[in-house]
Amino acid sequence: MSNQSVQTVSTSNDKIKVALAIAVAIAGVVGFYYLSDKPALVRAGALVAGLAFAVLLLWTSSTGRDFLNFAQEAVRETKKVVWPTRREAMQITGIVFAFVLVMALFLWGTDKTLEFLLYDLILGIRK
C-alpha cells in the first residue's frame, strides 16, 4: 500500500456552509449597526453572537476547519516571535537614520555634480 495523502474536494454542502457562515457574520455586523439605539451591551452581544455562530458553521465544514486550524497555527507561530530589547531597537533605529542621512548626502552630492557637469561644462548654460 502507498502512503500518499489524498486531498478531498469540498462538496457543495461545504460550500453552502461557508457561504452561510459568511452571511451570518455579515448579519452580526449589520445587527450591530442596526441596533444603534440599543445599549452597547446588546449591540456587542448581537455582533459576538453572529460571529460565534459563523465560526460554529465554519467548523462543521472541512474548508472552515482547515482555515481555523491555519489561523490557530498562525497565532501559535506569532507567539514564538522574539522582540528586540529597547536598547537593540534604539541601536537599529540609529543605524537606519545614519544610513538614510549618508544616502541623502550622497544623492545630493551626485545630483549637484551631475548638474554642474551637464549645465556648466557641457552645455554652458548658467542659471
54 near 21, Cβ under 8 Å? Answer: yes
Looking at residues 41-67, what average pLDDT do you find? 88
Write the CB contacts of 62 (distance below 8 Å, at least 6 apart in sequence): 8, 10, 14
Looking at residues 17-33, what average pLDDT do you find? 91
Using one digit for the tens of pLDDT, what is the confidence trace for 71-104?
A: 899 999 999 999 899 999 999 999 999 999 999 9
Given a cut of 80, whether residue 9 has pLDDT beyond it is no
What local confidence, expressed as pLDDT, does residue 4 receive? Answer: 63
What local confidence, expressed as pLDDT, does residue 58 receive? Answer: 82
11 vs 63: CA distance, rounded Å: 10
Looking at residues 45-56, what average pLDDT do you find? 91
47 vs 32: CA distance, rounded Å: 5
Given a cut of 70, whether residue 40 has pLDDT beyond it is yes
pLDDT bracket for residue 62 (50, 70, 90): confident
What local confidence, expressed as pLDDT, does residue 2 receive? Answer: 54
Given a cut of 80, whether residue 125 has pLDDT beyond it is no
